[in-house]
Amino acid sequence: MTLNSLTAQQHSEAINRSKKTCHSLTWSVTDIKALLDMPFNDLIFRAQSVHREYHDANGVQLSTLISVKTGGCPEDCGYCPQAARYHTGVENQAMLSTDDVVTAATAAKEKGASRFCMGAAWRGPKQRDIEKMTEMVRAVKALGMETCATLGMLKPGQAQQLREAGLDYYNHNLDTAPEFYEEIITTRQYEDRLDTLEQVREAGINVCCGGIVGMGETRQARAGLIAQLANLNPYPESVPINHLVQVKGTPLYGTDVLDPLEFVRTIAAARITMPKAMVRLSAGRREMSDAVQALCFLAGANSIFYGDKLLTTANPEADYDQALLSKLGLHAL
């Protein structure tokens, strides 16, 4: 099975627009679709083999995510409860103080997290926002933690300011495949995301970039997302794979729920195509059984978001996660 001509053309155009970010294709959409189509046991065996070659087979990196500025985003991302145009019950909140952030980071470190991620509901930060964020980054770095930020689209020079403050990772997800993107978001273009990723790379910051599955996309579109990620040059150091958390009031509420084994297949494809990356189980873990999460670890996931909240949606509590890792014989990195 191949992309129809229109989809192939759209995919090709997206690749061409991102030549500064992508090199010659290492993985085609067809290649990755073939991976996803493999018998489940064969796919998991291949992914686990790759995982063991490049990583501690039983190690899991723990990250904690906090919303430093919640709600009121002008974008129309169909999955997001923080979009101002949707009525989801998420209240706008002013930006947290640096002291509040340090308190949260200290608590996360005490519970075993090694990376602290700070997110803000902006289309992109203003200069005054960057100045506040650099202060937060410096304060969290002083605790001895890795730092990550997800602030939306960056303007020229902003990535460099974040790097000078000590930012280790910048998260900016592609969300989905180029051909499915306009079904999810219309207020920004796919190349806008690629442009921000290019600025992050040029500033010397590690890239955290993944996507969301379960938004009504086909397996072909999931292959297209993985292809985009795997063909970034270099591919991201951190790859969060999110399972859609349906929030009442968003356009994607009521979408048919993705089969859990399809999610596991997506994790496996990410591991095979980006062998050195940390593949993170992100949003949606609270809705997954222990057995599904165990299959994800078997398929090559080796990072989780750790803590009781992901920006505005619930996440398994730290004590629960510790019990799960212990049950599986996994340890924190």
Answer for the pair 254, 246: CB distance below 8 angstroms, yes or no.
yes
List the one residue out of 153, 159, 63 whose CA is nearest residue 104. Answer: 63
Using CA atoms, how far apart are residues 44 and 295, in angstroms rounded to an integer? 9
Using CA atoms, how far apart are residues 326 and 323, in angstroms rounded to an integer? 5
Burial class (CB in 10 A: 0-12, 13-18, 19+), 102: middle
Catalytic residues: 73, 77, 80, 117, 148, 208, 280
Angle between helices 290-298 and 318-328 (to 10 degrees): 60
How far are the Cα atoms of 136, 149, 171, 310, 328 from residue 95, in angstroms, in the given order? 11, 14, 19, 16, 38
DSSP, res 187: S
Instruction: Give the alpha-carbon dihedral of 218, 221, 226, 228, to 10 degrees.
Output: -170
**SS3 of 286, please?**
helix
**SS3 of 306, please?**
coil
- What's the N-to-C CA distance of the chain in angstroms? 40
Answer for the pair 270, 51: CB distance below 8 angstroms, yes or no.
no
Give the phi and the psi of residue 139 in degrees, each rounded to 5.
-70, -40
List the one residue out of 116, 120, 229 whose CA is nearest residue 166. Answer: 116
Paired tokens of 9? 């053309």
